[in-house]
Amino acid sequence: MGFKGILSFLLLFSYVANAELFVPLPAKPPVPKDNPMTSGKVELGKKLFFDSRLSLDGTVSCNSCHNVMSSGTDNRKFSAGVGGKNGDRNSPTVWNSAFLTVQFWDGREPSLEAQAKGPLTNPIEMAMKDHDLVVSRIRMIPGYVEEFKKNFPGQKEPVVIDNVAKAIASYERTLLTPDAPYDQFLKGKKNAINAAAKRGAEKVVAIGCATCHNGPNYAGPQLPEGTGFYQRFPTFADNEYAKKYDFSADPGRMKATGKAEDKGMWRVPTWRNVAITAPYFHNGAVATLDEAVLVMAKTQLNIDLKKEDVDDIVAFLTSLTGKMPKQQMPELPQTPGSTVLLQ
């Protein structure tokens, strides 16, 4: 039974399969017990997320690379950190990252809280010497000190890096994009997507893409926080795509764990908003979604897709672009008469 045969066979069950594999974005993400969400913490976290004073020279905020006015990314191959330095992995979208059970491309951090601490001291990102510098700078800003006191009550010294991370993570848990056309379709609004997107939804199941890309974020099953859902990429490396885009130059999860068996293993990334997060893959080497779909079919399933299949799958993936919640800009607390950015 060739690809056509498998496709016909599986299409029979695709509606059932979709119902199992694909679900609308839940209204609320998982929230860790030790960091309950409060509106105060969310507001504080929003300020910190937008505050470039958390970087060494005051030029880079979380939002610089994870732009929540846009795709939750910067749409660059690699992000630019302090001093114009470039990173070496493409910035994943912050939208719906609350549904990822591990963070970073290699899943090296088990939570949004743990993730938030990383870029602050990464020399090619926000470049702070250490977390003490982050904390001491925040302590120089009276408005922040007040807000930390209020939002972490009963703590002798509330301005500590763990609370910085908790506030940022709380804000990030509000960054959800519900009601994508395909979510609406799943909820019964049958004309929310066009015929091509409907065919695409069936094809990604039939072909096998949805074996990994399923669950609320199309990034795998909703495992417990800290438990990653990893796959090898590329699985099939002996093809023009794997060579052209040099995917294996980066050892993936092995870089984090040091274990040989983790070479080429990656956290399965989300499909939500994938249409607006070009360029693609951990190395940002692929410029368009059409090409990314061709690459994935070949490298993961050893399938050569036809143009009509690519078009349908792209139509489906595009129907996963959600609605970004309206947000008020935060007003960042000031240091009257001086600046914390002495150069």
Taking the least distance from each CB to its own copies, the nearer of 22 and 50 is 50
Taking the least distance from each CB to its own copies, the nearer of 264 and 279 is 279
Q: Of 89, 94, 60, 63, nearest to 77 (Cα)?
A: 89
289 is a contact residue toward its own copies (CB under 8 A): yes
334 is a contact residue toward its own copies (CB under 8 A): yes
Taking the least distance from each CB to its own copies, the nearer of 244 and 259 is 244
**41, 53, 117, 198: which one contacts its own copies (CB under 8 A)?**
53
Burial class (CB in 10 A: 0-12, 13-18, 19+), 216: buried
Residue 111 corresponds to which amino acid?
Answer: S
**25, 68, 138, 305: which one contacts its own copies (CB under 8 A)?**
68
Q: Of 137, 142, 328, nearest to 150 (Cα)?
A: 142
340 is a contact residue toward its own copies (CB under 8 A): yes
| Minimum CB distance to its own copies, residue 64 (Å) | 7
| Minimum CB distance to its own copies, residue 82 (Å) | 8
Binding to its own copies (CB under 8 A) within 77-136 occurs at 77, 80, 82-85
Neighbours of 292 (CB within 10 A): 24
- Torsion angle of alpha carbons 49, 93, 25, 30, nearest 10°? -50
Distance CA 112, CA 141 (A): 24
Is residue 157 part of the annotated active site? The answer reads no
What is the rounded radius of gyration, in angstroms, for the C-alpha atoms of the chain? 21
Q: Of 101, 106, 110, nearest to 265 (Cα)?
A: 106
Residues of the shown chain interacting with its own copies in the complex, contacts defined by CB under 8 A: 50, 52-53, 57-59, 64, 67-71, 74-77, 80, 82-85, 275-276, 278-279, 287-290, 314, 318, 321, 324, 326-332, 334-343
Q: Residues with catalytic annotation? A: 125
